[in-house]
Amino acid sequence: MSTVRMSDYLKRDIRDRFKESHKKAKPELEIKGNLGDQIYNTYIGPKISVLQEAASDAFGDVFDTDQLFAKETTIHSQVALTTSSFGWDSEKEENTIISDLDESYNLKIPLSTERLMPRGHDSRGMYSNHITFNFDRHEDKQINYICELVEYNYKLRATRDNAVGKVSDLLDKFTTLNQALKAWPALSKLVDPEKLSKVHEKQERKRTQDIQKEMADKVVVDNDLNKTILSASLIGDSDE
């Protein structure tokens, strides 16, 4: 059985498996709909009927003001939020986790069910399915909590990418899978079973060869076989 080389394909497969293992071990936090419901009930819901009545009074005789509203399952908002990513830091001249403050981050807050929202319009004046609310996270605990969840998930993804990068650097130090497994035994959990079996077959064959050699050495030593062969060879040389 040929040696399992540490090919680019194999390294990519191991990296992908490690990434999935990291996601399973450290899952991202979910923003549940009940959080969005609380925000809707605080800032939007109580004002919908007021806005509907005002729109109907002002324009009800010239167009259907229901067009100004639509049912949504998400609150679209803008908040100040810190994002994190794994990338090249030109000052440190190394790959690291980089954090940036986004003053107008587009935050999508899920709702548990459809809720009535005012409709917005795009730059051409055409109606879109949503408008964007501007929230100050420091004025509302629920909004701030959601922002913290998002920031946590960004940092978690950056940390995961950093870890994947370290795995990639480590794999580059080996030319064969067997070398990598000896240096990092837990790597076996990330290797395709078929390739792992090839390594095990090779290791088993090596163990068999070692046992056979040990047996042969014992027979040779116990019976002075080497001396016999050497003596016969010397006699043959003297006869020439």
| Interval 79-136: pLDDT, tens | 999 999 998 877 777 888 899 999 999 999 999 999 999 987 655 555 566 789 999 9
Phi/psi at 164 (5° precision): -60, -40
CA–CA distance, 220 with 182 (Å, rounded to integer): 33
In the chain, what are the domain boundaries?
A: 28-173, 194-239
Q: What is the mean pLDDT of residues 50-60?
A: 91
Dihedral angle sign, alpha carbons of residues 203, 209, 211, 217 = negative
* Concatenated DSSP letters of the chain: ----B--HHHHHHHHHHHHHHHHHHSPPPP--HHHHHHHHHHHTHHHHHHHHHHHHHHHTTTS-GGGGEEEEEEEEEEEEEEEEEEEEETTTTEEEEEEEEEEEEEEEEEEEEEEEEE--B-TTS-B-S---EE--GGG-HHHHHHHHHHHHHHHHHHHHHHHHHHHHHHHTT-SBHHHHHHH-GGGGGGS-HHHHHHHHHHHHHHHHHHHHHHHHHHHHHHTTHHHHHHHHHHHHHHH-
Mean local confidence (pLDDT), 212-219: 54
Q: Looking at residue 121, what is its pLDDT? A: 64
* pLDDT for the residue numbered 90: 79
pLDDT digits (tens, 9 = 90+) for 144-162: 999 999 999 999 999 999 9
Euclidean distance between CA atoms 118 and 68, whole angstroms: 6
- pLDDT for position 122: 58
Confidence of residue 63 (pLDDT cuts 50, 70, 90): confident
Whole-number pLDDT of residue 72: 92
Q: Is the pLDDT at 220 greater than 50, yes or no?
A: no
Section 56-68 average pLDDT? 89
Q: Confidence band (pLDDT; 50, 70, 90) for 230?
A: low
Mean pLDDT of the chain, nearest integer: 83
Q: Residue 195's pLDDT band (boundaries 50, 70, 90)?
A: confident
Q: Report pTM.
A: 0.76
**pLDDT for 238 beyond 50:** no
Over the range 71-97, which residues count as b (16 or more CB within 10 Å of their CB) and which as e? ebebbbbebebebbebeeeeeeeeeeb
Q: What is the mean pLDDT of residues 24-48?
A: 94
If pLDDT is split at 50, 70 and 90, which confidence band does 235 have? low
What does the pLDDT look like over 166-175, one tens digit per residue?
999 999 999 9
Least Cα distance to 154 among 116, 191, 107 occurs for: 107
Position of tokens 């497994």? 181
- The arithmetic mean of pLDDT across residues 171-193, rounded, is 89
Find out whether 192 and 39 touch, Cβ atoms under 8 Å. no
Q: How many CB atoms lie within 10 A of CB 183?
A: 11
